[in-house]
Amino acid sequence: MRILLLGASGQLGHELTRCLAPLGELTTVARSGHHRALDLSRLDLVEQLLGALDPELIVNAAAYTAVDRAEDEPEACSVLNSELPARLAARAAASGCPLVHYSTDYVFDGSATVPYTEESPTAPLGVYGRSKFEGEQHIRRSGCTHLILRSSWVYSTHGHNFLKTILGLAQAKPELRVVDDQIGTPTWARALAQLSAAALARLPDRAAWQQRGGTYHVSAGGEPTSWFGFADAFVALARERGLDRPLARLRPIRTADYPTRARRPAYSVLDNGRFERAFGLRVPPWRRQLRWCMEDFVPMPGTAGGAGAQRTAAAGGR
């Protein structure tokens, strides 16, 4: 099977590169690294690539994920998150190849008090969430066979994300303030990639796709936490793993005390039940995923405080 993976240099794409390799002949596309180089905002070039490769499965892990910057760059955000999926879906519908696409808890407004299901009403709070929801809608309306996997709070040892930002800052500052009133379940990019590959392995033919294709929630399981709770857990694990430098004391703050350009959902918990039942898979709890991820931090890196992943909603020392 010819598989085309877009966004191979991102947190999730990096992990998918490894997890999808056993499933077929994989072509990976990104702006940088050891991948086929392509600027995915050039939709004409994307069409050319699709024509040349004639993929039998398209996996789209590319996205515009700079949530705050999106408020000032709605067009750039829309090209990647709405128009690109529309083109991929049109191609998938025309050629009969399935499309796997990733979406986000940001399609919800966070006013719920129980986990969001796939049927919960969407109400994005900002440009990023709206663009991701538009991308979903284009795919559903195209009639192509698809999986739309909505996740939340994705982190990794690769790329820019909350965990690496906080661990970097925690080694440089005595105290960090971290938001304690946004609730979710942090999802390790590798776990999401592995669950994606496992689901794909359970879709052997067109009939299986037609029966089980659709939109699913796939975030980490376990008791939801806050950004503060997440940071507290990984800083404790870093200490446990013998980081010899002193680490910052964490102080919980409210969202109102850490204003950001884009509003974020206060409650981001996704119900993974439909995915688990459809594919006979178990989504591991976030604390177990975090422990596995932290095993990769040996020795602990001097992570520079990168920013720019979907979430830098919580931070400190500013």
The span from the CA of 117 to the CA of 239, in Å, is: 36
The span from the CA of 189 to the CA of 182, in Å, is: 20
| Catalytic choice (128, 155, 216, 267) | 128
- Which pairs with CB-CB distance under 8 Å and at least 24 residues apart come from 35-39? 35/8, 35/9
Among 19, 46, 144, 154, binds ligand NDP (CB under 6 A): 154
The span from the CA of 132 to the CA of 60, in Å, is: 12
Among 4, 5, 12, 90, binds ligand NDP (CB under 6 A): 12
Among 62, 220, 266, 294, binds ligand NDP (CB under 6 A): 62
The span from the CA of 142 to the CA of 133, in Å, is: 14
Among 161, 263, 277, smallest CA distance to 212 is for: 277
What single-letter amino acid sits at 226?
Answer: S
Please identify, among the stretches 90-98, 136-144, 150-158, 226-234, the one whose residues bind ligand NDP according to the rule CB under 6 A: 150-158
Task: Check if 128 is active-site.
Answer: yes
Is residue 152 involved in binding ligand NDP (CB under 6 A)?
yes
By beta carbon distance, the residue nearest ligand NDP is 10
Residue whose tokens read 């040349």: 52
Please identify, among the stretches 5-13, 43-51, 201-209, 294-302, the one whose residues bind ligand NDP according to the rule CB under 6 A: 5-13
* Distance in Å, CB of 198 to ligand NDP, minimum: 17
Cis? peptide before 299, omega within 30° of 0: yes
Is residue 16 involved in binding ligand NDP (CB under 6 A)?
no
Residues that bind ligand NDP (rule: CB under 6 A) add up to a total of 29
Please identify, among the stretches 11-19, 107-115, 202-210, 238-246, the one whose residues bind ligand NDP according to the rule CB under 6 A: 11-19
What positions carry a catalytic annotation? 128
